Structure 1
Amino acid sequence: MEARINMESQNVLALVKKAIMEEINYARDMSKDANERSRNCKDASVARELISGARDYTKTIAGLRRALELVEDVSAKEVD
């Protein structure tokens, strides 16, 4: 019974890790896109907004990486 619960926990943690990685990849793509669009933008105020958005995505990525580390820590403890 305990082994089955542990396996289910590992499956849930794997799904959480996968979802976090997908969000990190999405945020990275959006940040790159915003940076590229800001370089090609002729309107300075719009370019500033795009750069601000890119910074927000960078902060999101950092937060998601911290969340991923926590999930990996829990996952490692579940194995012990």
Structure 2
Amino acid sequence: MMELPVQINLRITSKNQVTIPKTVRNFLKVKPSDSIEWTIDTNGQVSVTKGTAELWAMVSEQEKEYGNLSTPEIDWGTDIESDDFD
């Protein structure tokens, strides 16, 4: 386990980009296509955390397709194995 706190210095490229250091990627357990969230507090301190955007985007897409807990069930008619079926 890494000893905290850790300070890492980065250089911003001419296109205003930075590479996320391996130490940070490993600590956050992120991989390509994952998202990270940047939070800036009132003191100007920036926090970086693993994002949850993909999870909620997937939940939203599935909700559109399948509904959610408050979506009423579809009435498919009488069940074949039902005693009511003649």
TM-score scaled by structure 1?
Answer: 0.27
Higher RCO (CA < 8 A, seq sep 6+) = 1
Structure of larger gyration radius: 2
Q: Which has the higher strand share?
A: 2
